[in-house]
Amino acid sequence: MKDAFSPANLGVMSKLTTPIKVQELIGSLSFNQGKRLSPVQVLEQRRADCLEAAVFAHAVFQFHGIDSFLIDLRAVHDEDHILCAYKSGSHLGAVAQSKFLHLRFRSPVYKTGRDLVMSYFEHYFNFFGELSLREFSVPIRLKKGGPWLSDPKETIKLEQYLDTVRHFKVDLPEKPLPKVSKERFWREILILPEGTRVGKEYRKEVRSREH
């Protein structure tokens, strides 16, 4: 692993000794909407989307010997989301990058992966206010020191691989779930990409959020 990162970036990683420090660094990154990046490039370019941030966090946790793994969250009428779950004793927490405030960090207070995933459910909605989380994957661990650290093509391969791994369905009631309130909608959104379509009941503040 040390061969992949520059001395300066190894110095940065050496200071990320706790999950909250990892989350703080991820939270300081620009949201990447361009080409796929490797963990090395994430540090060099200071940007990442949710997949790239989760893979970067996985690399940092491996560097510090913290047990961690990726979880792929699947959604309907929405983007998928990737978490990097970490273990603290017998409990699980997570770090993540997201356009939504409460799709990011979780403290290690969850006993199972399902419990951790379901803590995201009420906050996982699309730009039309629909709760959209439907499935979550088995834990995914990457080989320590592999080419995925520096090769962005490996990030692309991982993205494709996530479509093939086993996923579990979220148990939902038969009746449709209510949409989120306008207040919650805007309280959760941190990043609204320019040109994003928003449900008509939430459109009042779109212009101010884009600029």
pLDDT grade for 206, boundaries at 50, 70 and 90? low
Over residues 86-99, the pLDDT tens digits come to: 999 999 999 999 99
Q: Are 182 and 201 in contact (CB under 8 A)?
A: yes
pLDDT grade for 24, boundaries at 50, 70 and 90? very high
Q: Which of 144, 168, 145, 150 is nearest to 72 (CA)?
A: 168
On the question of pLDDT at 161 being above 50, the answer is: yes
Residues above pLDDT 70, as percent of the chain: 96
Domain boundaries defined on the chain: 7-210
Over residues 69-81, the pLDDT tens digits come to: 999 999 999 999 9
Q: Which residue has the higher pLDDT, 28 or 207?
A: 28
